Structure 1
Amino acid sequence: MYRSRNLRFAGVFMIGLALVLAAAYISLTNGTFDIGIRDVVQTLLRIHPQPEHDLVIFEFRLPRIVIALLVGAGLGLAGAVIQSITRNGLADPGILGINSGAGAAMVIFLFFYQGQIRGDGWLSILAMPLFGLAGGLIAAMLIYMFSWKNGRLEPQRLLLTGIAIGSGLSAISLYLTLKMNPGDFEMAAVWNMGSIYNASWKYIISMLPWLLLLAPLIVWKSYMLDLFQLDEDSVISVGIASEKEKALLLLCSIGIVSACVSVSGGIGFVGLMAPHIARSLVGQTHRHMLPVCGIVGALMVMLADYIGRTAFAPSELPVGVVIALLGVPYFIFLLYRAKGRGIA
């Protein structure tokens, strides 16, 4: 049985990688300006490069593909951690208020520096992602502080506190957004809906270190996530410092979500859907489930970005809106299924 599970995981993982590569190929070659695969290969390998192909591939499409892949993988991974810690299959990274915290920080920045963040310099490009990252971490720390009770992190208290603080931060964002000038209002509105239309290599550099540092740590601690599915007393009885491990894994997921939200805005439902799909494919073991969560999340965001970019061209639909169109019915389905089992 153990070998069959490993073979199943290997098969799903390889198929997932093939689908991600196929999605990248479709996004790279199709759009308002179609490019053949031969031209793509020649451009990437610097064989007879042409300026128009360089512009489309290196400045527009490739950064979007990379950010979609990183953001989707990060949100999927973080969603699996949060659902495991809270023991709630309906939990989502956005429910902890990270999206709202990052969005509020960016809106505050835009409000006080209206019209002053344009340009191509490092400072102007990285200012918003860094503010979003700080806002997400501050919101998460507030939620964590209010969720601590009797020396323990209460999972249900964590969810309820996250909803309350997230709603308050969203209200602040909306109030400040309405007082902005038209240009910054449009930017803030699109960003809050979840969009990677403004992708650049500088945004990738700003978030990549967080994923490279925190994602391997989460995978290394995957056995802890398996133990958290037991009741609290059973976890403690085997000598595990439950609250310490929960805090570490939660902080890792917060860091990943904040980094993702800081460059893509509030993309919801990826962290909800990816873990459920991964469990149905490879089972409950987190050592297998976490990598598949990353692949499923990456594939979701990449396909959503392609659909949003091409379905209504020359207009563009934000990634968050495309995923929400699928995520809301899926959430209702999960809620109905949980109610049928007597869980909710």
Structure 2
Amino acid sequence: MQLKIGSKLMLSGLVITVLLLISIYLHLTSGSYAMSLGEIFRTLFGWSDDRKLELVIFQFRLPRIIVGALVGAGLGIAGAVMQGITRNGLADPGILGINAGAGTAIVIYIFFFQGMIQSESIGGWLAVLMMPIFGFVGGLLVALLIFAFSWRQGTLDMQRLILTGIALGTGFGALSLYISLKMNANDFEMATVWTTGSIYNANWIYIYAMLPWVIILSAILYRKSYLLNYFQLSDDSVRSLGIRNEREKVVLLLASIGLVSACVSVSGGIAFVGLIAPHISRRLVGNDYRYNMPISALAGMVLLVFSDYIAKTVFAPAELAVGIVVSIIGVPYFLFLLARANRGG
């Protein structure tokens, strides 16, 4: 049985990795400045003297691909954790309001501090490095409000948690829009990027800012992934195994919030990745979260990198926000899952 699961994991990982490499290839070679695979390899390994190729690859396309892959992996992992904790296949960081809370905090940050942060005395590094912190505070605030409304007799009521998250997400989304309308033109344009979800302005500073968050929090969540298997049992059964049920859920939720906040800080509110990726993973490797979580990360990478490729090429030279492309895919899939859940399938 273990061999069968291991073989399924390796095969699924290999297939998704190939799809990811294809998505990266398409993303690198397409655009207003087309290039061949040979030119890309020569430039990546420093065998080319073409400065224009170096500029396009290292300053524009490669950072965008890396940010897309990191954000996709982070949202995929967070989505798997949310669905495991709530025992609800329709749970998602966006649906639970965490995206909206983190995004609103970043919009407030832009509104009050962006002019000062962009000054020469502080520099752009501090601006980007502070965004995940503001995002985490916003996501944490939503989580605390969700806990306050969902905590009943010493336990988390998962149905109330989801309903509260939806309500808070709507409220914070409206607050974010209100604050955006009070901004000047330049800050409003930047805030719009966060609210729609886009990675077209990705750079290496964004990567350095979010990479520690993604690595550390993903490692924590994976280390505790076995607990998500136990959480599929009743709460009394979990406690009988000696597991501190509510404490472990809080730790997992906080780590997920940090991971989502880091993603939102550089990409804005991209919905449905955390919903779709875990479902793809479950179909490929089953319900064991020790295997489900890494495949969810890979599926999230493919989904976001390929969606960003579509966003930049379908209406070229104009570009769509990647969040719009993911939503076009995600809304029908969400309705399909909802209809299947209603049928009991």
TM-score tier after normalising by the smaller chain length? over 0.9
Asked if 1:296 corresponds to 2:293, the answer is no
Call closer, same or farther: CA 1:114–1:63 in 2, change over 3 Å.
closer
The answer to which of 75-84 and 233-242 deviates more is: 233-242
Partner of 1:133: 136
State the 1:127 CA deviation: 4.3
Q: Contact 1:309 / 1:315 at 8 angstroms: preserved in 2?
A: yes
Question: Where do 1:93-172 residues align within 5 Å?
Answer: 93-113=93-113, 115-118=115-118, 121-172=124-175
Q: What RMSD in Å do the two structures reach over aligned CA positions?
A: 1.6
Q: Contact 2:9 / 2:291 at 8 angstroms: preserved in 1?
A: yes
Partner of 2:192: 189
Match of 1:268 among 259, 268, 271: 271
Secondary structure of 2:308's counterpart equals: helix
Question: Where do 1:39-58 residues align within 5 Å?
Answer: 39-58=39-58
Q: Contact 1:129 / 1:203 at 8 angstroms: preserved in 2?
A: no
The answer to which of 270-279 and 176-185 deviates more is: 176-185
- Where structure 1 has 5 or more consecutive residues not aligned to the other structure, the ranges are none
Distance 2:48 2:112 in 1: 47
What is the number of residues matched between the two proteins?
342
Partner of 2:282: 279
Distance 1:249 1:113 in 2: 31
AA aligned opposite 1:81 = V
Partner of 2:62: 62
Q: Contact 2:194 / 2:264 at 8 angstroms: preserved in 1?
A: no
Partner of 1:91: 91
Distance 1:213 1:145 in 2: 27
Question: Where do 1:1-20 residues align within 5 Å?
Answer: 1-20=1-20
List 4+ stretches of structure 1 deviating above 3 A.
Answer: 113-120, 124-130
State the 1:117 CA deviation: 5.0
Partner of 1:257: 260
Cα deviations by residue, 1:219-273 (Å, 9 ceiling, x for unpaired): 2212111111111111111221111111111111111111111110000001111
State the 1:165 CA deviation: 1.7
The answer to which of 300-309 and 229-238 deviates more is: 229-238
Q: Contact 1:64 / 1:196 at 8 angstroms: preserved in 2?
A: yes
Partner of 1:243: 246
Call closer, same or farther: CA 1:124–1:219 in 2, change over 3 Å.
closer
AA aligned opposite 1:263 = V
Distance 2:30 2:273 in 1: 24
AA aligned opposite 1:289 = N
Call closer, same or farther: CA 1:243–1:124 in 2, change over 3 Å.
closer
Partner of 2:203: 200
Call closer, same or farther: CA 1:240–1:129 in 2, change over 3 Å.
closer
State the 1:105 CA deviation: 1.4
Distance 2:130 2:245 in 1: 37
Q: Contact 1:139 / 1:165 at 8 angstroms: preserved in 2?
A: yes
AA aligned opposite 1:185 = F
State the 1:103 CA deviation: 1.6
TM-score by length of 2: 0.94
The answer to which of 240-249 and 294-303 deviates more is: 240-249
Distance 1:273 1:155 in 2: 20
Distance 1:185 1:269 in 2: 25
Secondary structure of 1:93's counterpart equals: coil
The answer to which of 266-275 and 174-183 deviates more is: 174-183
Secondary structure of 2:78's counterpart equals: helix
State the 1:308 CA deviation: 0.3
